A and B are shown apart, each in its own frame.
Chain A
């Protein structure tokens, strides 16, 4: 068998079974082997015969390549891109991290402003309620000390408890509005992240 025929049969067997780079590598390798054998004094037919049957070489090459490919984990589609994004995120963290902290600060400030009014209402009504109860109990010793003082303190205590109850009721009612505003804010923040993820994908 001539070298050209060997090359044609080897190429025909390898093509389609291994990548083009592997085909080129195998052809170059066996061509050089044949030329070396010819330089050593063999004829072209003898050199080709010593290299071996092209079909067997093809089977062996395909088997070796398949085993190597199976042993080596192939990177999944998009995995390289994912690592690139992770690296860019790490490198760019001083920039986007500052913006993230600022955004979280603004979000926290918005929440504080949002809950400031219900919190103030709760504390005020709680103060009136506790103060009223205290005045209610303190009115008895005050009555013993001076009756007019006890009566006045009893009235003040009842007034404070009433204001506390009314304030607590108003706070409870308006808290529903602030809860809705809070949920709307959180929903808006979550939608920003979802929109960003969709754009990324």
Chain B
């Protein structure tokens, strides 16, 4: 059905996005601290 092609593609992308994101989060060891690139906040002077 071409009528809902966009909806189907969007749904597939959303589902794939959720799964892949979950996979990435699992690869990080379910630890959000691993995503932190800088230990100090940008507004700290030193």
| Known A-B contacts A151-B24, A152-B24, A154-B24; A166 and B7 likewise in contact (beta carbons under 8 Å) | yes
Q: Nearest CB to that of A161 among chain B residues?
A: B13
Query: By the criterion CB–CB under 8 Å, are B24 and A158 in contact?
Result: no
Main secondary structure of the interface of A (DSSP, over half): helix
Main secondary structure of the interface of B (DSSP, over half): helix
Looking at the complex, which of A4-12, A26-34, A142-150, A185-193 is the stretch in contact with chain B? A142-150
| Known A-B contacts A148-B34, A165-B13; A156 and B27 likewise in contact (beta carbons under 8 Å) | no
| Known A-B contacts A147-B27, A155-B18, A155-B22; A162 and B12 likewise in contact (beta carbons under 8 Å) | yes
Query: By the criterion CB–CB under 8 Å, are B13 and A154 in contact?
Result: no
A13 within 8 A of B: no
A residues 153-201 near B (Cβ < 8 Å) are: 153-163, 165-166, 168-169
Contact of A151 among B7, B14, B27 (CB under 8 A): B27
Q: Nearest CB to that of A166 among chain B residues?
A: B10
A146 to B24, CA, bound (A): 10
Render B1-19 as a binary contact track against A, CB cut-off 8 A, 1 for contact.
0000011011111111111
Report B4 CB to chain A, min CB distance, Å. 9
Q: Nearest CB to that of B31 among chain A residues?
A: A148
Query: By the criterion CB–CB under 8 Å, are B23 and A162 in contact?
Result: no
Which A residues form the contact surface with B (CB < 8 A)?
146-163, 165-166, 168-169
Which B residues form the contact surface with A (CB < 8 A)?
6-7, 9-25, 27-28, 34-35
Q: List 20 A-B contacts (CB under 8 A).
A: A148-B34, A149-B28, A149-B34, A151-B20, A151-B23, A151-B27, A152-B28, A154-B24, A155-B17, A155-B18, A155-B19, A155-B23, A157-B17, A158-B13, A158-B17, A159-B13, A162-B12, A163-B10, A166-B10, A169-B10
| 8 closest Cβ pairs, A-B complex | A159-B17, A152-B24, A155-B21, A162-B13, A155-B20, A151-B24, A148-B27, A162-B14
